[in-house]
Structure 1
């Protein structure tokens, strides 16, 4: 990086070389734009700060096909449950350059003018979420809905006949130009990461049918899985202080598992069993994964939904935008939100006996489709915007996390909590 020139050399002894150096020195510091083909986002420098990192289990998916590999991974996953419900996935068979390309596509989408992005906005009024979401959209302003101003999201559904219409509407030029690579990436995530992970989950529960979850996450059937591009724009110190040093308050996700491809900008924090917030270290070549609300419901809390939040990055990374490539795993729409049957583990844990005594919802269990749509409408509601703002205001830089007082909600008969 070239030095910053403030004034020309005036000393009479200055050499011609020195004067030339002044003339050739840029007037401002060079800034590398990470997320391009020249500077992949994965090469952005990691923080050097000494942060309290979470102790997470690493699942090497390359062990899946080895003798005893499934059981080995299942045993590791059981340990992850005892810690935070977060874990790393490595050796998942997708080359780094293909992951880098997705971050590049994400950057290109978010670099578009708001007028262009608005043409591809999600159908918020009907609980839709595929397409673009950002605070500057007229929909949120007209509804008086408070959105985090530095957060943008672009969701892409599965590449199946069910979503042909959505894909026609949600194809800004960067997506259209790279459609084959994006579609291949989404399918590779399903086949190389999600399917092995679902088998391991069945082994964890000691189900007789190892394909139990796989059969309920059929790619060709309608479900609300989606690939997400996400951006947290860097903010000033004053803006960060106003937001209580948070990009996003404590929460849980609503699907089965969330996959977060490595983001070199540290910001994600997880809540441990000791109620302490700890940072998730960006391990090269990894996916950070966490359990979400649907798998918690299906297992009677044996696999608990992981509580996490997004903190302002450490000082040596705070000037960088935080790009994200995520994949949200959800069962097929017709799957019922009810306990997985015939699990020796759930039997031994007394979960079946406990749930038998619980009050049953009127009309029986709801479908995943009903649950997802209700939760999405909740997330895009004015009440939720106000609730989220209050959680942020009550948060501060708390080292310990608790349920935010008065900030719970009931969605489709299921309690949802927020954390500070």
Structure 2
């Protein structure tokens, strides 16, 4: 059978990793090849469960894509941000502020970071089905089959096995969370997500204490980040210190979001992280990245699952069951708040919150 000829794309040449000796987070590294079998998941589950309850972040290696395959996806990301005109981007703009949907382009300067400074973060979000009614820029059309395959891999081979491991840790059927994450489910939840962070002026850095995205927790259930070399992501460690996430070639950085914290009754905690100005030897560079943001199906009600572990340890609820939002409702509330609505102080000087109709829907950690 002849080899498939892939459409031509500009080559993304990643910058070298920083040479600075930063305060790196000690993230556990998991050999994810074992997660593809029941026996392997039984072996991995105790460690993954412990990691996601304590550190909150983990790195996955041997996740099923070669470095060349991952590099190709970053090449396609280069198309998204350099081969599409500003006018065409606006034709595919997301309705983030109006409808709480990230599908499409989020332009730069939409969010307020601090002291009147706007973000320099541009992103393009695809519905996980890629072809599911979403229209894409013309330059991206030749790559849609590859993007679909990429989404399927992240959803079925990575996300679903992470969800199985987390379910095993709660001593429930390992398909419990998987059944809440249908690939073709009706709804606006996005799966694949590309972003580019651009440099800011010295004045803007001073006004925001060099923070690009404030400390926060993610809205969805599981976040899968493809490791990239510009150091900017920091996590809030259990000892209360911000530490840098170190680049590991062709690894995935995984964390838990608010929705899974609610579904697990507080057994797994949403993990706090932020994005800051890179170290000196990487400043002035565009930071290109790729995520797979997983959200439960829009109609899933965010109430704790029944688990013998929770019966023993107790359930922590963000909402009482009768007023708990669905995934679709929670997504819209959160997306229409981050960087768009005014935050107010809390009783802790390092925290701010956004409250809507008496409900705290977002907290910033500064």
Aligned to 1:248: 213
Aligned positions of 1:376-387 closer than 5 A: 376-379=335-338, 381=340, 384=341, 386-387=342-343
1:66–1:404 distance in 2 versus 1, CA, 3 Å = same
SS of the aligned residue for 1:63 comes to helix
Normalized per residue, which structure has more strand?
2
> TM-score when scaled to structure 2?
0.87
Deviations 1:43-101 (A, max 9, x none): x2111111111111122111124573212221121231343311111111112222212
Deviations 1:345-365 (A, max 9, x none): 2122122xx65xx9736x543
Aligned to 1:99: 70
How many angstroms apart in 2 are the aligned matches of 1:176 and 1:116? Answer: 13
1:206–1:252 distance in 2 versus 1, CA, 3 Å = same
CA RMSD of aligned residues (A): 2.6
Aligned to 2:4: none
Aligned positions of 1:42-121 closer than 5 A: 44-65=15-36, 68-111=39-82, 112-121=84-93
SS of the aligned residue for 1:331 comes to coil
Aligned to 1:272: 237
The answer to whether residue 223 in structure 2 is matched with residue 258 in structure 1 is yes
How many angstroms apart in 1 are the aligned matches of 2:257 and 2:151? Answer: 20
Deviations 1:187-245 (A, max 9, x none): 111121111111111101110x2111111112121241321110111234444223311
Deviations 1:266-319 (A, max 9, x none): 110000111100001111110111100001111222100000000111111112
Aligned to 2:122: 152
* 8 Å contact kept, 1:253–1:293: yes
SS of the aligned residue for 1:310 comes to strand
Q: Which residue, 310, 315, 319 being the options, matches 1:346?
A: 310
Aligned to 2:185: 221
Q: Which residue, 90, 108, 125 being the options, matches 1:135?
A: 108
Count residues with an aligned counterpart. 350
How many angstroms apart in 2 are the aligned matches of 1:65 and 1:282? Answer: 25
SS of the aligned residue for 1:348 comes to helix
| Unmatched runs of 5 consecutive residues or more in structure 1 | 1-35, 392-401
Please state how far the C-alpha of 1:322 moved relative to its aligned partner: 0.6
How many angstroms apart in 2 are the aligned matches of 1:92 and 1:294? Answer: 24
Aligned to 1:192: 157
Aligned to 1:337: 302
SS of the aligned residue for 1:89 comes to strand
How many angstroms apart in 2 are the aligned matches of 1:83 and 1:283? Answer: 21
* 8 Å contact kept, 1:83–1:273: yes
SS of the aligned residue for 1:378 comes to coil
How many angstroms apart in 2 are the aligned matches of 1:359 and 1:49? Answer: 43
Aligned to 1:360: 320
SS of the aligned residue for 1:316 comes to helix
How many angstroms apart in 2 are the aligned matches of 1:60 and 1:225? Answer: 27
Aligned to 1:418: 364
> TM-score when scaled to structure 1?
0.77
Normalized per residue, which structure has more helix?
1
Please state how far the C-alpha of 1:148 moved relative to its aligned partner: 3.1
Q: Which residue, 241, 245, 260 being the options, matches 1:295?
A: 260
Please state how far the C-alpha of 1:184 moved relative to its aligned partner: 1.1
SS of the aligned residue for 1:336 comes to coil
How many angstroms apart in 2 are the aligned matches of 1:89 and 1:225? Answer: 22
* 8 Å contact kept, 1:252–1:308: yes
How many angstroms apart in 2 are the aligned matches of 1:287 and 1:412? Answer: 37
Q: Could you tell which deviates more after superposition, 116-125 or 85-94?
A: 116-125
